[in-house]
Chains A and B, each alone.
Chain A
Amino acid sequence: MLNKGTEETNKQITQWVNEFSDELFAFAYSRVSDRDLAKDLVQDTFFSALKAIDSFQRKSTPKTWLYKILKNKIIDYYRSSFYKKTIKAKSIQPPEDNRIQTPLLSKWNNVEDSLQSQEFFTQFNSCIEKLNEKQRTVFTMKYLDDLESEEICKKLQITTSNYWVIVHRAKLKLKECLDKHWFTDNQKWLKKTKK
């Protein structure tokens, strides 16, 4: 067993930082999309690890243990940012009647080519960046962590009806963003090249 504040523990932490900070950082960054915040979370993780090093019984590997601490830090962060703003389940927006401005579905039907193209995902990612933090958090947990919707609600301490409202609004925003920046511009671009 290791003891706090000794030469030995400092050496141990140093080794862990060198060995695991990259992947812990990548894990955190992909979830919070903010370099400084991700660095803080990793730093906090090692700090908590150092504080609790007495209780680390080596039942799990150090890597698993560190990931567990980091995951809890990320969830704490998600929760705190969720609590800043309360979500009103009632204010859901139905699809707008914008038949004239938005491209016809037929353009969306030819989406297979888009889904194969890198440019599409560059645009798509910038649309995701425009979502608010709540919406991005939900998508990260769903599509990066592969969590079920019930688990996400539990982790974020939100009701299921709130959850569906967040998902729906986020998708509506993505749809509008793609309508505006991909499906229209892309078509214009196609016309230009045909001339």
Chain B
Amino acid sequence: MNCKKAAVLIEKKLDHPKNLSLYERLYLKIHLLMCALCTSFFQKSAIISRALKKGYSQKETHDLDSQEKQAILDAVLRKT
């Protein structure tokens, strides 16, 4: 059993359970039963996915100030 292979399967499964074939699902299930490290990573990775989802949805917005806007405009019009 191979942790490298399991790691990729874990990410695929967390992205969408349907990403795994029947064989892959079984492989991962058996591996997780035997491997405490991958089981722990699986749970932590799931938490990180949730944090990413939430973190990106509350990203702050940024504005340009009027000088920066003018600079963009000048640069664009100068090129013509």
Contacts from A to B (Cβ < 8 Å)? 4-5, 10, 13-14, 17-18, 21-22, 25-26, 29-30, 35, 38-39, 42-43, 46-47, 50, 92, 94-95, 97, 99, 105, 108-109, 111, 115, 120-121, 124-125, 128, 139-140, 142-144, 149, 161, 164-165, 167-168, 171-172, 174-175, 178
Contact = CB atoms under 8 A, between A and B. Distances in A.
- Summarize B's interface: helix, strand, loop or mixed: helix
A175 B14 CA distance: 15
Interface of B: 3-4, 7-8, 10-12, 15-16, 19, 37-38, 40-41, 43-45, 47-59, 61-64, 68-69, 72-73, 75-77, 79-80
A168 B11 contact: yes
Contacts, number: 120
B73 A30 contact: no
B48 A25 contact: no
Given A5-B80, A26-B61, A175 B72 contact: no
A139 B52 contact: yes
- Summarize A's interface: helix, strand, loop or mixed: helix
Given A95-B37, A105-B43, A21 B69 contact: yes
A87 B44 CA distance: 25
Given A4-B80, A111-B47, A29 B3 contact: no
Given A175-B44, A175-B48, A17 B4 contact: no
* The 10 residue pairs across chains A and B that have the minimum distance between CB atoms: A94-B3, A143-B56, A95-B41, A46-B76, A26-B61, A164-B8, A43-B72, A17-B73, A29-B62, A95-B37
